[in-house]
Structure 1
Amino acid sequence: MLQVPFIRENKDDVIARLAKRNIDPTEMLDEVIALDEERRAIQTNLDNIKAESNSISKEIGNLFKSGEVDKANALKEKTGVLKENTKSLEQELNEKIDALYQLLYRIPNVPNEIVPAGNTDEDNEEVYREGDVPTLFEGALPHWDLIKKYDIVDFELGNKITGAGFPVYKGKGARLQRALISYFLDKNTAAGYTEVQVPHLVNEASGFGTGQLPDKEGQMYHVTADNLYLIPTAEVPATNIFRDTLLNESDLPIGLTGYTPCFRREAGNWGAHVRGLNRLHQFDKVEILRVEHPDNSYNALDGMVDHVKDILKELKLPYRILRLCGGDLGFTSALTYDFEVFSTAQDRWLEISSVSNFETFQANRLKLRFKNSDGKNELCHTLNGSSLALPRVLAGILENYQTENGIKIPDVLVPYTGFDMIS
């Protein structure tokens, strides 16, 4: 959530930077400033009345002490009127604050200056590419045919149990899935991230804290009886560990990693781009997140990018990194890098990770602050990344590592799987 003083002091810059998202926020920003002026006027009036009431209360005490009971009672009547005015103003103030927050919740984060302008994913900028695309044998298959051939993932069974987009992993497919999770977690903890296990359901406050609500309310599974939401990513519960927290500057940086299933309603229509493991309603993901000092957050972002690069190098998968344009940037992000693995069998790139810096946007919603060297409270910066999302990594491995005799397991995963071939 943007801070009101930032909007007021940098209105033209905010408008220009949000234009990269292809929106004109002028009307909303004007409304924010107007609401805040009304809020401040009410607050000033309320403070003055409270100060007057306190002064009169002291005077009443002195009058009673001096025996001037009539004057004291007359002033008591005045304090009664002031209390009623105070109650009315407090209600009006709360209504203004609520209206202001509801408006601020609708305004996305301002993109970093290096975010390219653009409308769709076609306008994203490729900033890095590594790895050789393998040459497959004639008759190589896409992963949705491979999983049937080797009976390692069953979509029909998942559809029977739950519905479309909820696969059942079987045999070596399940073991490979578990191996990837363990490998990712081991890589992350070795890099200094503390592993956490978090709830798979969150309350409404947690959804608002990280920006999924109200922006993605229709995309989240909602348990209406308890007003809880199934998590779309471990980012939500893990970041909310720090909601309403005041850290010491010496506590920073903080890095966490965690594995969770992820639940998303917007799995898309059937087609080659969403077929098989390409897009699911439930999938597994290992996440990394950081809480950083504002002065270091972009160095930390570069470090997270390098960390994911190292994982993909070890998996020996061809990949590229994209800097997302304004039109493709997530609601809460100031800057995002997407990692994509090339699927040789599908002849297309598959997104397998997003690494983002949210700057103060989430921290302002979360009330996540640290006490700086001057003793003042300052908002932290939060960052998040997939390390990694499993379905498309698995799809990339199945397709790029297939041979005529079966699917070879990447060397780095063999100690985790206990086998080197699916056949």
Structure 2
Amino acid sequence: MNITRENVDALNAVVKVDIAKEDYSDKVEKILSDYRKTANIPGFRKGHVPMGMVKKQYGKAVLVDEVNKLLQDALNKYLTEEKLDVLGQPLPKPQDDIDWDADGFSFEFELGLAPEFEVKLKGKKAVTQYNIVADDKMIDEQIERIQKQYGKLVSQEVIEKDSEITGAFKNEEKEIDNTVTITLDKFKGKTTPKKFIGAKAGDVITLKTKDLYSDDHELMHALKLGHDEVHGLDIEVTFTISEINNRELADLDQELFDKLFGEGAVKTVTELRAKIKEDAEKQFVQQADQKLLNDVTEYLVESTKFDLPAEFLTKWMQTAGEKEMDEAQAKEEYDNSEKSLRYQLIEGKLIEENDIKVTMDDIKNHAREMIKGQMAQFGQMNPSDKELDDIAARVLSNQDEARRISEQLVSQKLLELYKEKANIKVKELSYENFVKEVYGDK
């Protein structure tokens, strides 16, 4: 067997594999001999079928199968030994005229080669790392939500600004008849709340669904309709008031603190505020880190310039998926996935150059911590090591879950690398201002 490579250019090559008769003949003969021993052919005793008949019936199929096995094994071994960094998979050049009666065969494969490039983490323009803080306004709002949640309902005669109103939305044509509890602050604008102020149980208020709420999800809940049904809905509905209550705020006392955080964990309003701030900012770190990861990824893709074997990859994509694509579909698929492919190559280079590794122990420890956190949510604060190990083993027996955790850990290590080596500027701001700056004022 002989394998040679011709480099078309820096990103494309052709590998030629020459297979001689001596490479496969012994194996083919052995398989056919085994077939002869077990073949059931009418008119012949088992094991006594003439070899010529066995070769005539099975010879070509066995030859093709063995040559293909040899070809794939040889190609894979060659790519490994030559340390060729290929993209996609080798593409066989079409051969419609293979003479399987010949003593030797030649096959050619097109290769798409990974480009050579350099990754510079520290660019001229700094990437913003957000430090999101829970300001006094947010903490005050959270405390009020807690007091309302644990407060007492007090019946009222008439609706006031902060009332909780139970009633039924109705519309005969759309067969709407849904009883819900609402608050006036959810309505869009000031006109609708004014219709409710001063109303009593039994009163019927007519409303237009168009612009009733800023968020379609609120309208879905109010009318018990699907998303497509409420989108652009412009009808009249009635709301029949059945009950009016005011929620008396719970006292900020030890009983409430113990309900929220466990006995004695928080003892004063100052400690409560500190705890709310701490818990909120832990959540903000995850959001800020994800934003940083996205922004550095975007920067790396934009700033790291290299060519790809686009024509080869487009051709490869035509047959790589579950369904074959025509040339136009493959071109569209390549255009859609090019950015992702570029980042995969950049990420791979960063992982290699910075020796980023995730061990099985890393994966097990992460799974244990994840399980421990989930158990804590259900009040199991001190699970034993055996419990954690047993559950982790069950979780990691799912290969998809183990791979997901591994990818998560790689992302964490890359994030640490970015924070250490990229051109980062830290910006501190409240969550409200973070949302405005990053997502727009919604």
- What is the TM-score of this pair, normalised by structure 2? 0.25
Structure number, greater radius of gyration: 2
- What is the TM-score of this pair, normalised by structure 1? 0.26
